[in-house]
Structure 1
Amino acid sequence: MKDQFLSQKIVFLAVVVSVCACLQVFPEAFIYLRKDLLTEFWRLWTAHWVHVSWIHYFLNMLAFICLPFIFPRASVWHFSALLLVLPPLISLSFYYFLPDIEAYAGLSGVLHGAYTAIACVHLMYKRERNFAAVVLFLILSKLFWENTVGSMGTAQLIGSPVLVEAHLLGVIWGVGIAAVYLLVDHYSERDSAM
């Protein structure tokens, strides 16, 4: 069973890494463009799966590949749901709350949200609680650093400014998704006990 769980994660990771690499061939057709967002609806998702450069792509894929192994209790279903739910939430947040953002590309906002959501859920498990708390502390420290000191080194590395608002929105939506997940889980357990 454990081997099957691991092989599912490896196949899932390979598919996501491959899809994101394919999108890199024509990134202009997939990035977040405010003016086209509501008429070219796929951009709600693909903007987060395409990157501004290959270095940007590799950095985000490395962080994404680590996620299932850092939190082995989470299933492929959880990761798939986060990859489908977080991108439109972040894109629509840009559109409605941050109208100055005209263009965006990258998985980092979704990564911040996924790490946050999964770490919040893992706070409920006694064995993983300390590690999940450390991960959340590191994410919040990174947000604080980016919003006070900045992220010039990362911007120089990827060849584009870092949109720290995406990271913040990812964390906010990650907490919200974790809360919904925990509430649904709590009430479904309570109903099944009756």
Structure 2
Amino acid sequence: MLVIALLLAVFGSLEALRYERGLLLHEPWRLATAHLTHLGLAHLAMNGVGLLLIWRLLGDAMPVSRWMLTIVLSAAGVNLGLWLFSPDITWYVGLSGVLHGMWAAAAWSRVRTQPGSGYALLSLLVLKLVVEQSSSGIGATASLMGEEVVIDAHLYGALAGLIAGLFPSKGKGPGWPGPPGFTGR
């Protein structure tokens, strides 16, 4: 994911790849590329550090197939949330909404195996979202990126991640249920 995002940062066109409300029906690829496109290298670096932290701290919370499902559902949740509930947001780029979904799903999965740390991680996420939703999206992060932070994307990604985390696990530990008859071995 980071390699693709880096290539897009160097060779891609922000305007051609970002979530752009008025163009989504005619250029649906923007629903995917928006999450891999960044405002610049500082924005990409912040999202990259976030991804590496999530992977380092929570990478073992779910199997790879479940992570893939979470990424897809989180991206879809951000897109749908922005479309339905944030009509004033006309464009969006970045991975942060998906990262919040990954955090939520992994923390929820962790609740099943390590309730103390799982609930602590969920509580931190809820606190972060509450603080963000009561602010304007303007702050130190916005000044580094040169644009306001689309905090609604964080909320929608986290909600979609929670939904992804609700899928029951089969076999040992957390994991995506897989096709019928799949035992996880």
TM-score bracket relative to the smaller structure: 0.7 to 0.9
Name the counterpart of 1:90: 78
How high is the sequence identity, in percent, across the aligned residues? 28
Paired letter, 2:150:
L
TM-score between both structures, scaled by the size of structure 1? 0.80
Change (3 A) 1:53 1:86: same
Higher helix share: 1
TM-score between both structures, scaled by the size of structure 2? 0.83
Paired letter, 1:172:
L
Name the counterpart of 2:155: 168
> How many Å separate the matches in 1 of 2:144 and 2:57?
25
Change (3 A) 1:121 1:153: same
Paired letter, 1:117:
A
Counting matched residue pairs gives 174
Name the counterpart of 2:89: 101
After the TM superposition, which of the residue ranges 71-80 and 172-181 deviates more from structure 2?
71-80
> How many Å separate the matches in 2 of 1:175 and 1:165?
15
Q: Does 1:133 align with 2:119?
A: yes
After superposition, give the CA deviation of every residue in 1:28-51 in whole Å (9 maximum; x if it has no partner): 221000011122111111111111
> How many Å separate the matches in 1 of 2:91 and 2:59?
34
> How many Å separate the matches in 2 of 1:185 and 1:48?
23
> How many Å separate the matches in 2 of 1:177 and 1:82?
5
Query: Where in structure 2 are there 5+ consecutive unaligned residues?
Result: none
> How many Å separate the matches in 2 of 1:181 and 1:99?
33
- What is the CA-CA distance between 1:108 and the residue it aligns to? 0.7
After the TM superposition, which of the residue ranges 114-123 and 69-78 deviates more from structure 2?
69-78
Query: Where in structure 1 are there 5+ consecutive unaligned residues?
Result: 1-15
> How many Å separate the matches in 2 of 1:130 and 1:158?
35
- What is the CA-CA distance between 1:134 and the residue it aligns to? 1.7
> How many Å separate the matches in 2 of 1:117 and 1:55?
26
